[in-house]
Structure 1
Amino acid sequence: MIWYFFLIILNFFHIDASIQLCNGPLGMISGEIRDWQITASSNFFDPDCHEKNARLYQSFDRAWCARHKSDSEWLQIDLGIIAKISGVLTQGRANKQEYVTAFMISYSTDAYRWQYLVDQYGNQKVRFSCVFKRN
Protein backbone atom coordinates (compact mmCIF):
# COMPACT_ATOMS: atom_id res chain seq x y z
CA MET A 1 0.00 0.00 0.00
CA ILE A 2 1.32 3.46 -0.87
CA TRP A 3 0.08 6.72 0.63
CA TYR A 4 0.45 9.37 -2.00
CA PHE A 5 -0.12 12.39 0.13
CA PHE A 6 -0.53 13.53 3.69
CA LEU A 7 -0.48 16.79 5.56
CA ILE A 8 1.99 17.39 8.34
CA ILE A 9 0.59 19.84 10.84
CA LEU A 10 2.96 21.46 13.28
CA ASN A 11 1.18 22.78 16.33
CA PHE A 12 2.84 25.28 18.65
CA PHE A 13 0.89 25.85 21.86
CA HIS A 14 3.49 27.46 24.10
CA ILE A 15 4.17 30.98 22.84
CA ASP A 16 7.56 32.54 23.66
CA ALA A 17 8.62 36.13 23.01
CA SER A 18 11.28 34.94 20.57
CA ILE A 19 11.77 31.99 18.28
CA GLN A 20 13.92 29.28 19.78
CA LEU A 21 17.19 28.77 17.93
CA CYS A 22 17.79 25.08 17.22
CA ASN A 23 20.65 23.47 15.37
CA GLY A 24 19.50 19.90 15.71
CA PRO A 25 16.51 17.59 15.87
CA LEU A 26 13.53 18.65 18.00
CA GLY A 27 12.89 15.26 19.59
CA MET A 28 10.98 12.95 17.26
CA ILE A 29 13.84 10.44 17.21
CA SER A 30 14.98 10.83 20.82
CA GLY A 31 11.49 10.72 22.33
CA GLU A 32 11.75 14.26 23.74
CA ILE A 33 8.55 14.87 21.79
CA ARG A 34 6.24 12.52 23.68
CA ASP A 35 3.69 10.14 22.17
CA TRP A 36 0.78 12.29 23.39
CA GLN A 37 2.14 15.19 21.29
CA ILE A 38 1.60 13.19 18.08
CA THR A 39 -1.92 12.85 16.70
CA ALA A 40 -3.27 11.70 13.34
CA SER A 41 -6.44 11.78 11.29
CA SER A 42 -6.58 7.96 11.36
CA ASN A 43 -4.54 4.82 11.88
CA PHE A 44 -4.47 1.58 9.96
CA PHE A 45 -5.84 -1.34 12.00
CA ASP A 46 -2.38 -2.87 12.56
CA PRO A 47 -1.08 -1.98 16.09
CA ASP A 48 2.33 -1.23 14.55
CA CYS A 49 0.70 1.61 12.55
CA HIS A 50 -0.21 3.92 15.47
CA GLU A 51 0.74 7.59 15.15
CA LYS A 52 3.19 7.23 18.05
CA ASN A 53 5.29 5.23 15.57
CA ALA A 54 5.64 8.25 13.25
CA ARG A 55 9.30 8.47 14.21
CA LEU A 56 12.44 7.61 12.29
CA TYR A 57 14.25 4.33 12.84
CA GLN A 58 11.35 2.39 14.35
CA SER A 59 11.95 -1.33 14.78
CA PHE A 60 9.77 -4.29 13.81
CA ASP A 61 8.04 -2.59 10.87
CA ARG A 62 6.52 0.13 13.02
CA ALA A 63 5.37 3.35 11.34
CA TRP A 64 2.34 5.62 11.19
CA CYS A 65 0.03 4.24 8.52
CA ALA A 66 -3.13 6.14 7.69
CA ARG A 67 -6.30 4.07 7.45
CA HIS A 68 -7.24 5.46 4.04
CA LYS A 69 -5.23 6.21 0.91
CA SER A 70 -6.42 9.80 0.71
CA ASP A 71 -5.07 13.34 0.51
CA SER A 72 -7.14 14.29 3.56
CA GLU A 73 -5.01 12.26 5.99
CA TRP A 74 -2.81 14.24 8.35
CA LEU A 75 -0.22 13.87 11.07
CA GLN A 76 0.00 16.57 13.75
CA ILE A 77 3.03 17.15 15.96
CA ASP A 78 2.74 19.52 18.91
CA LEU A 79 6.28 20.80 19.44
CA GLY A 80 5.31 22.62 22.64
CA ILE A 81 7.43 25.62 21.60
CA ILE A 82 7.70 28.09 18.76
CA ALA A 83 10.63 26.94 16.65
CA LYS A 84 12.01 27.55 13.19
CA ILE A 85 11.81 24.25 11.30
CA SER A 86 14.55 23.90 8.71
CA GLY A 87 13.89 20.35 7.55
CA VAL A 88 11.52 17.41 7.67
CA LEU A 89 12.61 13.79 7.27
CA THR A 90 10.26 11.02 6.20
CA GLN A 91 10.74 7.28 6.12
CA GLY A 92 8.68 4.44 4.74
CA ARG A 93 7.64 1.41 6.70
CA ALA A 94 10.52 -1.08 6.85
CA ASN A 95 10.14 -4.22 4.72
CA LYS A 96 6.79 -2.99 3.35
CA GLN A 97 5.67 -1.09 0.26
CA GLU A 98 4.19 1.66 2.44
CA TYR A 99 5.56 5.17 2.21
CA VAL A 100 4.59 8.78 1.56
CA THR A 101 5.35 10.21 -1.87
CA ALA A 102 4.34 13.84 -1.19
CA PHE A 103 3.15 16.04 1.65
CA MET A 104 2.25 19.60 2.63
CA ILE A 105 3.12 21.47 5.81
CA SER A 106 0.95 23.87 7.79
CA TYR A 107 1.52 25.38 11.20
CA SER A 108 -0.33 27.14 14.00
CA THR A 109 0.40 28.83 17.31
CA ASP A 110 -3.11 28.37 18.69
CA ALA A 111 -4.48 25.19 16.98
CA TYR A 112 -7.29 27.25 15.38
CA ARG A 113 -5.66 29.46 12.75
CA TRP A 114 -3.48 27.47 10.36
CA GLN A 115 -1.03 28.75 7.75
CA TYR A 116 0.69 26.80 5.00
CA LEU A 117 4.43 26.96 4.60
CA VAL A 118 5.51 29.55 2.03
CA ASP A 119 8.67 29.95 -0.03
CA GLN A 120 11.08 32.91 0.12
CA TYR A 121 8.75 34.89 -2.17
CA GLY A 122 5.65 34.40 -0.02
CA ASN A 123 4.08 31.81 -2.34
CA GLN A 124 2.43 28.81 -0.73
CA LYS A 125 4.64 25.75 -0.95
CA VAL A 126 1.95 23.48 -2.27
CA ARG A 127 3.57 20.09 -2.21
CA PHE A 128 6.85 18.47 -1.22
CA SER A 129 7.86 15.40 -3.18
CA CYS A 130 9.61 12.56 -1.41
CA VAL A 131 12.44 10.54 -2.83
CA PHE A 132 11.87 6.84 -2.26
CA LYS A 133 15.00 4.80 -1.72
CA ARG A 134 14.84 1.20 -0.59
CA ASN A 135 17.95 -0.49 0.84
Structure 2
Amino acid sequence: SPITTVVPSTCDAEGWSNWMNLHRPNAEGEYESVKELLKEFSLCPTHYITDVECRPKRGGALEEFVTCDTKGAFCRNNAGLQYCQDYEIRIFCQCECQDGLGMMDGSIKHEQVTASSYRSADDKGHFGRLESLWGWTAQTVNQNDKESIIREWIQIDLEEIKEITGIITQGHYYYNQWLEAFAVQVSKTGARWEDVRGDDSEFAK
Protein backbone atom coordinates (compact mmCIF):
# COMPACT_ATOMS: atom_id res chain seq x y z
CA SER A 1 0.00 0.00 0.00
CA PRO A 2 1.23 3.56 -0.65
CA ILE A 3 3.00 5.43 2.12
CA THR A 4 1.12 8.52 3.25
CA THR A 5 3.14 11.34 4.72
CA VAL A 6 1.29 13.42 7.32
CA VAL A 7 2.11 17.10 7.02
CA PRO A 8 2.51 18.73 10.46
CA SER A 9 -0.38 20.99 11.47
CA THR A 10 1.72 23.14 13.79
CA CYS A 11 4.99 25.01 13.68
CA ASP A 12 7.35 23.65 16.33
CA ALA A 13 10.79 24.83 15.18
CA GLU A 14 11.28 28.40 14.01
CA GLY A 15 14.14 29.20 11.65
CA TRP A 16 15.79 27.84 8.52
CA SER A 17 15.47 24.21 7.51
CA ASN A 18 18.32 22.12 6.15
CA TRP A 19 19.03 22.35 2.42
CA MET A 20 16.78 19.94 0.51
CA ASN A 21 16.84 18.41 -2.96
CA LEU A 22 14.38 15.91 -4.45
CA HIS A 23 14.26 16.47 -8.19
CA ARG A 24 17.01 16.10 -10.77
CA PRO A 25 17.34 18.15 -13.98
CA ASN A 26 15.74 16.63 -17.07
CA ALA A 27 15.15 17.64 -20.69
CA GLU A 28 12.58 20.23 -19.65
CA GLY A 29 14.45 21.79 -16.77
CA GLU A 30 14.64 21.52 -13.01
CA TYR A 31 12.34 22.25 -10.11
CA GLU A 32 12.24 21.88 -6.35
CA SER A 33 8.64 22.26 -5.21
CA VAL A 34 7.88 23.21 -1.60
CA LYS A 35 4.61 21.31 -1.93
CA GLU A 36 6.49 18.11 -2.82
CA LEU A 37 9.11 18.67 -0.13
CA LEU A 38 6.38 18.92 2.51
CA LYS A 39 5.35 15.36 1.63
CA GLU A 40 8.84 14.00 2.21
CA PHE A 41 10.24 16.07 5.06
CA SER A 42 8.92 17.07 8.47
CA LEU A 43 8.47 20.78 7.90
CA CYS A 44 6.09 23.47 9.07
CA PRO A 45 2.76 24.01 7.21
CA THR A 46 2.85 26.36 4.24
CA HIS A 47 1.20 29.31 6.02
CA TYR A 48 4.18 29.46 8.39
CA ILE A 49 6.70 29.60 5.51
CA THR A 50 7.79 33.22 5.08
CA ASP A 51 10.95 32.84 2.98
CA VAL A 52 12.75 30.40 0.68
CA GLU A 53 16.38 30.40 -0.44
CA CYS A 54 17.63 28.57 -3.54
CA ARG A 55 21.14 27.72 -4.75
CA PRO A 56 22.91 25.40 -7.22
CA LYS A 57 23.73 22.14 -5.49
CA ARG A 58 27.31 22.23 -6.78
CA GLY A 59 27.83 25.79 -5.63
CA GLY A 60 27.98 29.15 -7.33
CA ALA A 61 25.45 31.91 -7.86
CA LEU A 62 21.82 31.38 -8.80
CA GLU A 63 21.15 32.29 -12.43
CA GLU A 64 18.76 35.14 -13.24
CA PHE A 65 16.45 32.86 -15.22
CA VAL A 66 15.70 30.70 -12.16
CA THR A 67 12.52 31.55 -10.25
CA CYS A 68 12.93 31.27 -6.48
CA ASP A 69 9.96 32.09 -4.25
CA THR A 70 7.88 30.56 -1.44
CA LYS A 71 6.65 27.90 -3.88
CA GLY A 72 10.19 26.65 -4.53
CA ALA A 73 12.82 26.81 -7.28
CA PHE A 74 11.78 26.55 -10.93
CA CYS A 75 13.92 26.58 -14.06
CA ARG A 76 13.14 25.74 -17.71
CA ASN A 77 15.70 24.84 -20.37
CA ASN A 78 15.58 27.19 -23.34
CA ALA A 79 16.53 25.49 -26.65
CA GLY A 80 20.24 25.47 -25.99
CA LEU A 81 20.41 29.06 -24.79
CA GLN A 82 20.29 28.11 -21.14
CA TYR A 83 20.45 24.86 -19.21
CA CYS A 84 19.26 24.35 -15.68
CA GLN A 85 21.55 23.05 -12.98
CA ASP A 86 20.54 20.86 -10.05
CA TYR A 87 19.18 23.14 -7.34
CA GLU A 88 18.47 22.80 -3.65
CA ILE A 89 16.34 24.96 -1.40
CA ARG A 90 15.70 25.66 2.25
CA ILE A 91 12.67 27.26 3.87
CA PHE A 92 12.21 29.64 6.77
CA CYS A 93 9.44 28.83 9.26
CA GLN A 94 8.15 31.75 11.32
CA CYS A 95 6.11 30.20 14.08
CA GLU A 96 5.22 33.19 16.21
CA CYS A 97 1.93 35.04 15.71
CA GLN A 98 0.97 33.42 12.43
CA ASP A 99 -2.36 32.13 13.67
CA GLY A 100 -5.08 33.77 15.73
CA LEU A 101 -6.69 31.83 18.55
CA GLY A 102 -10.13 31.95 16.96
CA MET A 103 -11.79 35.33 17.49
CA MET A 104 -11.73 36.03 13.76
CA ASP A 105 -12.39 32.63 12.19
CA GLY A 106 -15.10 31.61 14.66
CA SER A 107 -13.32 28.68 16.28
CA ILE A 108 -13.85 30.54 19.56
CA LYS A 109 -17.61 30.12 19.98
CA HIS A 110 -20.07 32.84 21.00
CA GLU A 111 -20.60 31.26 24.41
CA GLN A 112 -16.88 31.54 25.17
CA VAL A 113 -17.10 35.34 24.94
CA THR A 114 -18.72 37.17 27.85
CA ALA A 115 -18.84 40.82 28.85
CA SER A 116 -19.62 42.91 31.91
CA SER A 117 -22.49 44.64 30.11
CA TYR A 118 -23.81 45.57 26.70
CA ARG A 119 -25.88 48.46 25.44
CA SER A 120 -28.38 46.37 23.47
CA ALA A 121 -28.87 42.81 22.24
CA ASP A 122 -26.91 43.75 19.12
CA ASP A 123 -23.88 44.83 21.16
CA LYS A 124 -23.09 41.63 23.07
CA GLY A 125 -19.54 40.51 23.70
CA HIS A 126 -19.40 37.94 20.92
CA PHE A 127 -19.81 40.73 18.36
CA GLY A 128 -16.39 42.01 19.40
CA ARG A 129 -14.50 39.97 16.82
CA LEU A 130 -11.93 41.02 14.25
CA GLU A 131 -13.58 41.66 10.87
CA SER A 132 -17.01 41.60 12.52
CA LEU A 133 -19.72 43.70 10.86
CA TRP A 134 -20.65 45.07 14.27
CA GLY A 135 -18.90 45.31 17.64
CA TRP A 136 -19.17 44.92 21.39
CA THR A 137 -20.48 48.08 23.05
CA ALA A 138 -20.70 48.31 26.83
CA GLN A 139 -23.51 50.09 28.63
CA THR A 140 -23.42 53.88 28.69
CA VAL A 141 -21.63 55.23 31.76
CA ASN A 142 -20.64 58.66 33.00
CA GLN A 143 -17.38 59.49 31.23
CA ASN A 144 -16.19 61.30 34.34
CA ASP A 145 -16.75 58.26 36.54
CA LYS A 146 -13.47 56.39 36.09
CA GLU A 147 -14.47 53.67 38.54
CA SER A 148 -17.49 52.75 36.40
CA ILE A 149 -15.38 52.74 33.25
CA ILE A 150 -12.72 50.36 34.58
CA ARG A 151 -15.40 47.94 35.80
CA GLU A 152 -16.34 47.17 32.19
CA TRP A 153 -14.65 44.10 30.69
CA ILE A 154 -14.79 41.53 27.93
CA GLN A 155 -13.61 38.00 28.69
CA ILE A 156 -12.51 35.17 26.38
CA ASP A 157 -12.58 31.62 27.73
CA LEU A 158 -9.92 29.69 25.79
CA GLU A 159 -11.01 26.45 27.55
CA GLU A 160 -7.39 25.37 28.04
CA ILE A 161 -4.07 27.00 28.86
CA LYS A 162 -2.61 28.62 25.75
CA GLU A 163 0.25 30.98 24.98
CA ILE A 164 -0.90 34.47 24.01
CA THR A 165 1.70 36.57 22.21
CA GLY A 166 -0.34 39.63 21.30
CA ILE A 167 -3.75 41.30 21.16
CA ILE A 168 -5.29 43.15 18.21
CA THR A 169 -8.21 45.56 18.58
CA GLN A 170 -10.42 47.09 15.92
CA GLY A 171 -12.94 49.93 15.88
CA HIS A 172 -16.66 49.59 15.20
CA TYR A 173 -17.50 48.67 11.61
CA TYR A 174 -20.17 51.35 11.14
CA TYR A 175 -19.64 53.99 13.81
CA ASN A 176 -16.70 56.11 14.92
CA GLN A 177 -16.24 54.08 18.07
CA TRP A 178 -13.02 52.47 19.21
CA LEU A 179 -11.05 51.56 22.30
CA GLU A 180 -8.41 54.05 23.39
CA ALA A 181 -6.92 52.28 26.40
CA PHE A 182 -7.28 48.92 28.09
CA ALA A 183 -5.52 46.61 30.54
CA VAL A 184 -4.98 42.87 30.13
CA GLN A 185 -5.50 40.25 32.82
CA VAL A 186 -5.11 36.47 32.65
CA SER A 187 -6.39 33.63 34.80
CA LYS A 188 -6.02 29.86 34.91
CA THR A 189 -9.19 29.34 36.95
CA GLY A 190 -11.42 32.32 36.24
CA ALA A 191 -11.43 33.12 39.96
CA ARG A 192 -8.05 34.76 40.46
CA TRP A 193 -6.79 37.25 37.89
CA GLU A 194 -3.30 38.63 37.34
CA ASP A 195 -2.28 41.76 35.46
CA VAL A 196 -0.07 41.35 32.40
CA ARG A 197 2.70 43.89 33.00
CA GLY A 198 5.36 45.37 30.79
CA ASP A 199 9.02 44.81 31.54
CA ASP A 200 10.01 46.62 34.75
CA SER A 201 6.56 48.18 35.01
CA GLU A 202 4.15 48.26 37.94
CA PHE A 203 1.19 48.93 35.65
CA ALA A 204 -0.91 46.44 33.71
CA LYS A 205 -0.47 46.40 29.96
Give the helix-richer structure, 1 or 2.
2
Q: Which residue number in structure 1 is paired with residue 193 of structure 2?
A: 114
C-alpha distance in 2 between matches for 1:75 and 1:66: 9
Q: Which residue of 2 aligns with 1:31?
A: 106
Structure 2: 5+ residue stretches without partners = 1-95, 142-148
Higher RCO (C-alpha under 8 Å, 6+ residues apart): 1
**TM-score scaled to structure 1, two decimals?**
0.69
**Which digits, 9 at most, give the CA deviation of each residue in 1:23-58, with x for residues without a partner?**
42100001111100000000012x331111010111
Verify: 1:54 aligned to 2:145, yes or no.
no
Structure 1 counterpart of 2:163, from 72, 75, 84: 84
Alpha-carbon distance in structure 2 between the residues aligned to 1:108 and 1:119: 17
Return the alpha-carbon distance in structure 1 between the equivalents of residues 106 and 202 of structure 2: 31
Partner of 2:59: none
Distance 1:79 1:120 in 2: 25
Q: Which runs of 4+ in 1 moved over 4 A?
A: none
Secondary structure of 2:126 counterpart: helix
CA RMSD after TM alignment: 1.8
Query: What is the percent sequence identity of the aligned residues?
Result: 32
**Residues 97 and 165 in structure 2, CA contact (< 8 A), matched pair in contact too:** no
Q: Which has the larger radius of gyration?
A: 2
SS at match of 2:150: coil
Q: For 1:49-93, what per-residue CA distance to the aligned partner results, in whole angstroms no more than 9, with x for missing partners?
A: 11110101112xx10000134221100000112112111111111
TM, length-normalised to structure 2: 0.47
